Structure 1
Amino acid sequence: MSCSLLLSSPIHAFESSRKIRRARHRRSQILCFSSQPNLRGGEDEEQDGADHSKVQGGPEVIVVERYGNGTAKRYMLDKEYGLRTFLEENSSVTNRFQDSHITADARISWLPDSIKDFILPAGFPGSVSDEYLEYMLLQFPTNVTAWICHALVTSSLLKAVGVASFSGTTAAASAAAIRWVSKDGIGAVGRLFIGGRFGNLFDDDPKQWRMYADFIGSAGSIFDLTTQLYPTYFLPLASLGNLAKAVARGLKDPSFRVIQNHFAISGNLGEVAAKEEVWEVAAQLLGLGLGILFLDAPGLFRSYPVLALTWTSMRLLHLWLRYQSLSVLLFNTINMKRARLLVKSHVLHSTVPG
């Protein structure tokens, strides 16, 4: 029986002060050897070496750890000297990682250096994980569509409390303010509940919870849209909408902190978060501007079905873009879901996918 188990954990290299800023997040690969030489790629060679050492009575290979920079560490058990370790280098793997950085540089080579410094962390691409740029490029239109939806939903809320209503009726300013503050207060309960009850879930699968947050937030926006049809029930509908969106935010924020921490492989979490704000604000301004243009369209302003259809289209596009952006993330840690897949594969097929 043979197995190849990929255990991903942050292995930090202790280098000189000149190189520590370039320290990469390395993946640790543990290979379990047996008598069947069916491991992937160059692992067949290691298998043969391990079997040969057993036959000859020489040092036995116990574990081989492979790192992202092409280095491999062999742990060998010698009857005379005990446990020994050997370091090896694989230049082909190192070149592959260098090529990924060259590709990232090529995609933004047309940008002026001043703009690169403004929107990207210092030392990019070496200071962040490999999928950082692709994620941010997908995240930008995702945020644009989110703010377009926000502008469309806000118009429905204002009309429901009597501001620029289709029917021409108006509500007293104090009554409108009370309704607005009340729905915010009720919605805040959602964030309180999520943070206190489910705070231990986000590290395990941040991509899943980030996607759930968008689905729940979309449901909350539907409540907001219906307030325009039933202005009498503004407070319960808007409160339910705000509650759902508050729950979504309670899921979104912790999940995104985990994603940011994944990007910050050089200990530069603060800078990664700051640059993310640059992307977010730029998307917000563009999204709000487009939302205002949509609301200025005569047909959209006067027709609720057109407004609802426009919002639905934007929201579906937003959810698709969110899924695409999350799908590029490659976490190198084993959570419960991945552990189940590894165990299932090992039990059913006697192999563990790498």
Structure 2
Amino acid sequence: MPSLGVQPLCTEQYGSRGAQYYLPSPDGCLSCVGDEPGRVGWRSLREIFMSVFLPQGYPESVSQDYLRYQIWDTVQAFASSITGALATQAVLKGVGVGDHTSTVTAATVTWILKDGTGMLGRILFAWMKGSKLDCDAKQWRLFADGLNDLAIFMEILAPAFPACFTLIVCISGFFKCIVGVAGGATRAALTMHQARRDNMADVSAKDGSQETLVNLAGLLVSLLLIPLVADRLQLTYALYSLFTALHLYANYRAVRAVCMETLNRARLRLALHHFLCQGWVPTPTHVNPQEPLLPAEFQQACKGNSRSYLIALNRKAGTVAVALARGTNSVDTIQACAHALLLEALLCQTLPLGAVEGEMLQELQRQLRGAPDRETWAVLTETHQLLDRFFPQFLSGLVSAGWVTDRNLLGAEEWRLDWTPKDKKVL
């Protein structure tokens, strides 16, 4: 606070970016010293830019990873805008723009087929994968951008194969609509993570403003590049390769910058393995950089078995089958998934004599790998007992480390099971 000479009666703060102090004056009124809250956002071009393109209350109103993510997201959007312009030029050339022998009808039919195929792809992808996009938002975001680059490459190549032009652009449109679904859904999931004051609409709107500004810059650069690449295929391919490499790298850095506190399968797996080996639960900032970003290795069913779940193991198939009980809450689901991950670790990994139940884990691993199929249930019972002993400590460690446990991204489907107690007859 500046040296005022008089003790202020009150102080008014505009987030972390400015303050004003109200002082008593001889005439009985209040005098104001410092920035005026209503105008603090307009003091300079920097403040104007922040007010237009950043959520209100930044940086307190968003997650700590917001700025790093948005910087790399801006870079990838610019690169994608340039390659998209190259693809648009190629498609327009392919449908006959500038060719006096082409007809409007043929071009219109090609465009309608392209859009129609894309609409079909949008519906099918949303049906097949829509429920999984929240759980692995980072992986699906990378998938969407990689598929988008492939679709653009197909459009750039399409004019070189006139006999197959319509088929190629239809497949490209199919891919691009999948990109639209996956990209839009994962963007919503990331926006939910970034919004820390129930300000999803503001964060989303400002993200749209940032993207519009970047696309405008991309259009201006494209106006300079398009005349240079006309009828110069080698230069077109070189520019595509350059900006695609930048696009993929920026996307990788963007999703690596995201540090999510909710538990999905990969993050829970890493946290549990670390807890079993080291005896303490890692923080989200420790686990997120280790999360695999390629579609993945752990695609088995993950839930649990006790009062709130039933579990079965098929060692030959390498799968864990889990049924959640009706009324299961988020903590129950985390425990169920932790049990499944524990079984996976016992079957597939070498567990050291760590700080948590090390000798017991070694013994269970030996029994599970060597036991006949008919004795598997006995070993499963022992894993139940082991999990009951250490899960409360693990859960407490998750909360202390900053993980969110009242909701999760573990991908449990909506099916729930009611099992009848043995002493209850079923009519």
Q: TM-score, normalized by length of structure 2?
A: 0.54
User: Which of the residues 260, 275, 278 maps onto 1:346?
Assistant: 275
Query: Is structure 2 residue 199 aligned with structure 1 residue 253?
Result: no
Q: Deviations over 1:167-188 (max 9, x none)?
A: x554111211111111111111
RMSD over equivalenced CA pairs, Å: 1.9
Aligned mates of 1:212, 1:302 — CA distance in 2? 31
Q: Deviations over 1:143-162 (max 9, x none)?
A: 11111111000111111111
Equivalent residues in 2 for 1:70-219 (5 A)?
A: 111-164=45-98, 170-219=101-150
Aligned mates of 1:112, 1:350 — CA distance in 2? 47
Q: Is the 8 A contact 1:149 1:315 kept in 2?
A: yes
Shift of 1:252: 0.8
Q: Is the 8 A contact 1:144 1:286 kept in 2?
A: yes
3-state SS of 1:204 partner? coil
Q: Is the 8 A contact 1:157 1:225 kept in 2?
A: yes
Q: Is the 8 A contact 1:151 1:292 kept in 2?
A: no
Aligned mates of 1:140, 1:287 — CA distance in 2? 11
Q: Deviations over 1:72-105 (max 9, x none)?
A: xxxxxxxxxxxxxxxxxxxxxxxxxxxxxxxxxx
Q: Deviations over 1:306-344 (max 9, x none)?
A: 212211211111111111122111101111111111222
Q: Deviations over 1:264-290 (max 9, x none)?
A: 110011111111111010011111221
3-state SS of 2:131 partner? coil
Letter in 2 for 1:328: A
Equivalent residues in 2 for 1:42-61 (5 A)?
A: none
User: Which of the residues 233, 242, 264 maps onto 1:313?
Assistant: 242
Equivalent residues in 2 for 1:13-32 (5 A)?
A: none
Equivalent residues in 2 for 1:237-276 (5 A)?
A: 237-276=168-207
Aligned mates of 2:274, 2:202 — CA distance in 1? 39
3-state SS of 2:139 partner? helix
Aligned mates of 2:200, 2:235 — CA distance in 1? 43
Q: 1:111 to 1:323 in 2, by over 3 A?
A: farther
Q: Deviations over 1:209-242 (max 9, x none)?
A: 1011011111111221121101221110000111
Shift of 1:110: 7.1
3-state SS of 2:96 partner? coil
Letter in 2 for 1:174: T
User: Which of the residues 242, 248, 264 maps onto 1:335?
Assistant: 264
Shift of 1:304: 1.3
Hey, what does 1:304 align to over in structure 2?
233
3-state SS of 2:230 partner? helix
Aligned mates of 2:253, 2:234 — CA distance in 1? 29
Equivalent residues in 2 for 1:56-67 (5 A)?
A: none
Shift of 1:114: 2.2
Identity level (%): 26
Shift of 1:112: 3.2
Shift of 1:115: 2.1
Aligned mates of 1:196, 1:119 — CA distance in 2? 34
Instruction: Give 5+ residue unaligned stretches, structure 2.
Output: 1-13, 16-42, 284-427
Hey, what does 1:233 align to over in structure 2?
164
Instruction: Give 5+ residue unaligned stretches, structure 1.
Output: 1-20, 23-108
* Higher RCO, Cα 8 Å, sep 6+: 1
Q: Is the 8 A contact 1:190 1:250 kept in 2?
A: no
Greater Rg by CA: 2
Q: 1:322 to 1:110 in 2, by over 3 A?
A: farther
Letter in 2 for 1:211: L
Shift of 1:353: 2.6
Query: Is structure 2 residue 212 aligned with structure 1 residue 281?
Result: yes
3-state SS of 2:159 partner? coil
Q: Is the 8 A contact 1:135 1:329 kept in 2?
A: yes
Q: 1:158 to 1:282 in 2, by over 3 A?
A: same
Aligned mates of 2:81, 2:261 — CA distance in 1? 32
Letter in 1 for 2:50: K
Aligned mates of 2:71, 2:271 — CA distance in 1? 32
Q: Is the 8 A contact 1:161 1:231 kept in 2?
A: no
The alignment of Structure 1 onto Structure 2 pairs a total of residues equal to: 243
Aligned mates of 1:316, 1:256 — CA distance in 2? 21
Shift of 1:352: 3.6
Aligned mates of 1:118, 1:339 — CA distance in 2? 38
Aligned mates of 1:231, 1:224 — CA distance in 2? 12
Q: 1:145 to 1:110 in 2, by over 3 A?
A: farther
Letter in 2 for 1:332: E
Q: 1:268 to 1:239 in 2, by over 3 A?
A: same
Aligned mates of 1:198, 1:157 — CA distance in 2? 29
